[in-house]
Each structure stands twice: as C-alpha cells, then as structure tokens.
Amino acid sequence: MTVYDLTARLPGPAGTSVPVLAVVDERLKTTSVCLALAHGSRDDPQGRGGIAHLLEHLVMSSPLGGDGPAWSFSEYVERRGGQANAQTGLEVMLYYAQTHADDAEDVAAALLRAVFRPVLDSDTLDRERAVVLQELAAAAADPSDAVQDAVLAGLFPGHSLGRPVGGTPDDLAAVTAEELTAVHRDRFVRAAGALVVVGPKVPSVLAGAAVPDTEGPAAPAPREELEPAGPDDPLPDPGEASFTWLCFAARSPRADAAGRAAYGVLAHLLGSSPSSLLYRTLRSEHGLSYSFHAWDRGYREAGAWRLLIGAEASAAGQVRTVVDVLLASVAEQGLAPDDFDAAVRQAEMSLVLESETPLEYAKLIAERTCATGRVWSLESEIAGLRQVGIDDVRRAAAHVRRELRMTVRSVAA
C-alpha cells in the first residue's frame, strides 16, 4: 500500500485546501475516512476551557439536516453498520468513520457536512453540555484519568498545554451557542488539516466537496513561553490510600525537533512489554505493579514523556526508586544491544500493527500529517527509528531523569 497526495483536493475556506491522502487497497471491503484539524483544547478561549471538546460532541451528535431523518452523523453511520467517533487532543482533533465501501460516498459527504456545517443551537448545546459534564465527573472519580490531567498541569504550569482537555464545569457552564459558533467560524474551519482515506477506492465526493467561505486561513498560533515545571507531589500516605497512580513525566523535544525518536524508543524500553527493562524489574523481579504504560508526545513548544504506574500505596516509594535506578542505569551505563534492539522493534511493530488496521491507519496518517504540517508515512517513520542509536537513548534517559517530576492520585483507603 502506498500513501499519496491526490491531485484532487478538498476545497477549504476562501481558497485554502485540505490535502486528501489515500491508501488504496482493492482487497478491502471497508472504507475508513479520517479528517484531522490542527485545532485542540489549547486553542480554547481563556475562561472557556472545553469549547473544542464541546464542539466535538456537537459535530458528532447534532442532526445532519437535509431532507432525510434528523439523524446525527454518528447514528447515520451506525445505522449502516459502520462505526464513527471523534477525539479532541491538545493540538489536533480527529473525526472518523469506517463503513462498507459501498456506503463510502454517502458517509464521506455526511462527515464533511457534520464537521463544516454543524447545528450549534442552544438546545443541542445544553444537551451535549450535560453529557460532557457527566464525562468529566466520571474522569474526576477515576484516579488513573485524573492523574493524566494533573501531570500536564504540573509539567506546563500556567500554559495552554497544561489546561484540561475537557475543560472545567465552571468554564463549560458559561459557554454560549454564540461563542461556539464564533470558534467554529473563526478558528476551527480555518485550521490546517488533512483528510485520509483507506479503502478500495477514493470516494469521488472528496474531489468536489464545498465548505463555508470564511475570511481565509487562520494565522499559525505562536509558541508560548514555558515556565519551569512544578514540584513533585508527595508520596501517598498508606494509612489514607489503598492504591495509587504515579505518573512520572518530563518535557521532551518539541514536535518538529530532531532526535524525538529516541524518546519513543525510551518509552518502549520502560513500557508494558515483557521485553522491557521496567517489566522485568518492576513486575517480574519485585512484583510491585501489574499496570503500567509509557509514551511520548510532541507539541509546539515541547513534548511530554510520561510513564504511568498503578501500585499499592505502600509500594509507591519502591516504585519511584526503581524508576530512578533504571533511568540512571540507562543514562550512565547505556544498554545491552539486545535490550536496545527489542525496544526499537517494539516501537516499529506498534506502528506496523496500526497500519494493518485500516481505521487506525487512517487516524495515524491524519493525526501525524496534521500535527507536523507535512505528509507522514509509515516508511519514513520506521526509517527514523532505525537511525536511533544506543547513545541517543542514553542521552534521552539522562534528560528525562534530570527533568523528571512525579504526580500522584490515589484511591482512598
């Protein structure tokens, strides 16, 4: 399968255009479509955190309009046996669907209508606001969710990257339909983006779909100054907590910086695979944790390298020591070649596995193309991974250890 930029492009607002990228595989019986836009929660107006996430909900759940039944985009797709969803990130939003290839024309047209012409009236807003508030309440009650918002707030204090993606109840309560409409008109539809198709052919509707005119593409957002990261949280008190989630985090290079691949390899080296150093030490040798995961993401000003570990509150101090010792060992002594090779292979295979699931592949291409502003391909990403050396990972470990901070959220005893 080859990724290519079609000569036909999805017309965007006032002469701009969104590239349509396609992976054509005639063996497939489904078509997956993903539209990514370079707009996220960090773009929410001050005091109105959560607008991007609210907009995601309205795009997916508002009536599509037209002469047919008043179905939302989600219901429209699922009534045809497909699946549809969306997600809001810090800097990128994704809207996607997978359907039978015979339905691809209609579903692609419906996706464009839903994203670029959503119903943003007060009744729909009030309904979806209530749903989002329930979503936030559920996340706040789950320490494994709560710790992930908290770690970004500590890693990027006073910065738009540190604001919770879903916003806060107070901010959400103040959002009006007029404000949502303005964000959609002035920022959302004018953001850079990418539309990706993975299927047996490309829906012809994507070559001639129209979206509303605006005053032109939005200016690229400037980078914001970063303040020093906040201090560590204290270790949990075993007398007050039964189970705890520890998130170890450090700033990593920004999205467009050279050398980012080494931080991804380091995440696999300390990830949840039985081949990782952390698995062998934390779980197999000491039996301190069953659930842990490491990952790295790049943003405009900096990246965020994270390691999330769930453990008994009484073991939190031992867990912190194990993490510090492992990072110090990698930074100061390097790696055994077989451990390094296993981490690189894990990083590569995670991409390959996603690429062999059509919908995940469409999302992967769309998100990374949108985030970087250049067409992403599996082959180039793997080539970059294969250029990472042991010394690159050693330097990444030294940086992470030097910058590391710990955030804690616990389950009460």
Name, in order, each residue with C-beta under 8 angstroms of 379's C-beta and a sequence gap of 6 or more.
none
Name the average pLDDT for the chain: 91
Domain C-terminal end among 189, 207, 225: 207
Claim to verify: residue 26 and residue 87 sit in the same structural domain: yes
Claim to verify: residue 152 and residue 268 sit in the same structural domain: no
In this predicted structure, the answer to whether residue 14 has a pLDDT above a threshold of 50 is no
Claim to verify: residue 254 and residue 187 sit in the same structural domain: no
pLDDT band at 372 (very low <50, low <70, confident <90, very high): confident
What confidence tens digit (pLDDT) does each residue in 348-366 have?
Answer: 999 999 999 999 999 999 9
CA angle in degrees (0–180, nearest 5) for 187-295-232: 90
Claim to verify: residue 199 and residue 262 sit in the same structural domain: no
In this predicted structure, the answer to whether residue 172 has a pLDDT above a threshold of 50 is yes
- 3-class secondary structure, 44: coil
Higher pLDDT, 16 or 6: 6
Q: Which pLDDT does position 9 carry in this prediction?
A: 53
In 3D space, the residue among 378, 317, 314 whose CA is nearest the CA of residue 352 turns out to be: 378
Total domains in the fold of the chain: 2
Claim to verify: residue 203 and residue 245 sit in the same structural domain: no
Q: Quote the CA–CA distance of 78 and 13 in Å, as a whole number.
A: 29
Q: Which pLDDT does position 211 carry in this prediction?
A: 47
pLDDT band at 321 (very low <50, low <70, confident <90, very high): very high
Q: Is 233 inside a domain boundary? A: no
Rounded percentage of the chain residues whose pLDDT exceeds 90: 81
In this predicted structure, the answer to whether residue 13 has a pLDDT above a threshold of 70 is no
Claim to verify: residue 85 and residue 160 sit in the same structural domain: yes
pLDDT band at 6 (very low <50, low <70, confident <90, very high): low
Q: Which pLDDT does position 59 carry in this prediction?
A: 95
In this predicted structure, the answer to whether residue 148 has a pLDDT above a threshold of 70 is yes
By residue range, what is the domain housing residue 405? 241-412
pLDDT band at 97 (very low <50, low <70, confident <90, very high): very high
Q: Is 279 inside a domain boundary? A: yes
Please state the rounded mean pLDDT for residues 203-214.
62
Q: Is 226 inside a domain boundary? A: no
Claim to verify: residue 248 and residue 179 sit in the same structural domain: no
Is residue 97 within 8 Å of residue 107, measured between CB atoms?
Answer: yes
Claim to verify: residue 107 and residue 180 sit in the same structural domain: yes
Q: Is 236 inside a domain boundary? A: no
Claim to verify: residue 283 and residue 146 sit in the same structural domain: no
- Read off the DSSP letter of residue 161: G
CATH classification of the domain holding 83:
3.30.830.10
Q: Which pLDDT does position 78 carry in this prediction?
A: 97
Name, in order, each residue with C-beta under 8 angstroms of 321's C-beta and a sequence gap of 6 or more.
none
pLDDT band at 206 (very low <50, low <70, confident <90, very high): confident
pLDDT band at 119 (very low <50, low <70, confident <90, very high): confident
Q: Is 235 inside a domain boundary? A: no
What confidence tens digit (pLDDT) does each residue in 239-280 have?
Answer: 999 999 999 999 999 998 989 999 999 999 999 999 999 999
